[in-house]
Amino acid sequence: MGFVPETNSLAVHVSRLRGKLNTAGLEGLVETAPSGGYCLQPADALLRSVASL
């Protein structure tokens, strides 16, 4: 498979993943990194945010 940098395929998939995570009450699990990539929140930070609900 080739990579075409003009496509937004990754952004679309991350957006859909975030939507499903938000529905499950896990908003903020996937963050956009300042360098332009994506990263997952550490499990302990996620547990703290869920515990505060």
Return the pLDDT at 36: 82
Counting Cα atoms < 13 Å in the Cβ hemisphere of 25 gives: 7
Instruction: Tell me if 39 is assigned to some domain.
Output: yes
Instruction: Tell me if 44 is assigned to some domain.
Output: yes
Return the pLDDT at 18: 94
Return the pLDDT at 25: 82
Instruction: Tell me if 43 is assigned to some domain.
Output: yes
Which positions of the chain have pLDDT values less than 50?
none
Instruction: Tell me if 5 is assigned to some domain.
Output: no
Instruction: Tell me if 11 is assigned to some domain.
Output: no
Instruction: Tell me if 16 is assigned to some domain.
Output: no
Return the pLDDT at 1: 61
Q: Which domain holds residue 51?
A: 28-53
Instruction: Tell me if 51 is assigned to some domain.
Output: yes
Instruction: Tell me if 53 is assigned to some domain.
Output: yes
Helix segments in 1-53, DSSP class H: 9-23, 43-51
Return the pLDDT at 50: 63
Interatomic CA distance for residues 17 and 11, integer angstroms: 10
Return the pLDDT at 26: 82
Distance of CA 22 to the CA centre of its chain: 10
Return the pLDDT at 46: 65
